[in-house]
Amino acid sequence: MPTAPTLNARSACYVLREDPELAETIDPALAARALQECVAATVRVPRGGWDPYALNGRIGDGIGMLVLHGRLLRRVGVDGRFGAELLGDGDLLRPWQGEDASPTLHQTTRWRALEPTWLALLDEAAARRFAAYPQLTGRLVARALERSRHLSVNMAIIHQARVTVRLHMLFWHLADRWGRVHRDGVVLPMHLTHAVLADLVAARRPTVTTSLSDLARQGLVLTRDPGWLLSGEPPGELLAIQDVAVAVNPEH
């Protein structure tokens, strides 16, 4: 059984304490030991552009990087048109995966931290410690599949004809993950600029600005420091899309 390394609070963390959902399937008799042994180095990503590929050497053949706290934007462009993926707490990523392949379509990928973000580096040493608790492997695989399901929902959202509908659905989709119930509705506590929203719904920024004004006039989506307030119920079309995504990935 591996032993937990000496922990430097400035550069490492107890992963299962930061992300307790990962530990839910561990035998309760082993939970205390797992909390102590599942340690990983951490990296703080300041707000702004980020080059994740420099961390490839630190991860090696390990698991990847786990978002502990914060928000990252992955922006992909093909032929001058861009789409984006929003990642946050609990997401697992390997930005360099597949980057050495020769794509048929020339694409550009850029990463940006929308707010200060902390990552756990699940390198080879961390992977060996995690291996003592096989249930964690299942949880991490589930996280990767969950990210795939969110992407499929995003793809369905951007195929809606009206940008106002896309935005309304996107806000509720994000609130399903990160929203907080409030007496006035559901608060989505994240700062998303009109430019970021434009990438997320595959629209032009001026159109997004107009559509946000329409949603505000209807009282459906209002700005609320530090983010957004959603009123009413989620759009029925979004619920249908999510049902389809779950049917394709029944584990989730």
> Cα(156)–Cα(160) distance, rounded to whole angstroms?
7
pLDDT band at 78 (very low <50, low <70, confident <90, very high): confident
Region of residue 68 (left: phi > 0; alpha: psi -120 to 50; beta: else): alpha
* Model pTM score: 0.83
In this structure, the answer to whether residues 37 and 135 fall within a common structural domain is: yes
CATH classification at residue 171: 1.10.10.10
CATH classification at residue 59: 2.60.120
226, pLDDT greater than 60:
yes
In this structure, the answer to whether residues 78 and 164 fall within a common structural domain is: no
Amino acid at 8: N
In this structure, the answer to whether residues 95 and 66 fall within a common structural domain is: yes
In this structure, the answer to whether residues 197 and 127 fall within a common structural domain is: no
Q: Quick check: 116 and 44 in contact, CB under 8 A?
A: yes
In this structure, the answer to whether residues 136 and 168 fall within a common structural domain is: no
> What's the burial of 240, exposed, middle or buried (CB within 10 Å: 0-12/13-18/19+)?
exposed
Taking only the tens place, the pLDDT of each residue in 126-168 is 999 999 999 998 999 999 899 988 888 888 899 899 999 999 9
With respect to residue 227, please indicate whether it lies within any of the assigned structural domains: yes
Segments forming the whole domain that contains residue 30? 12-142
Taking only the tens place, the pLDDT of each residue in 123-132 is 999 999 999 9
With respect to residue 150, please indicate whether it lies within any of the assigned structural domains: no
Identify the helix (H) or strand (E) that includes residue 152: helix 134-157
pLDDT given at position 85: 93
101, pLDDT greater than 60:
no
What is the number of structural domains in the chain? Answer: 2
In this structure, the answer to whether residues 178 and 241 fall within a common structural domain is: yes
Angle at 122 between CA 119 and CA 127, to 5 degrees: 160
In this structure, the answer to whether residues 114 and 169 fall within a common structural domain is: no
252, pLDDT greater than 60:
no
With respect to residue 60, please indicate whether it lies within any of the assigned structural domains: yes
Domain end: 117, 142, 167, which one?
142
pLDDT given at position 205: 95
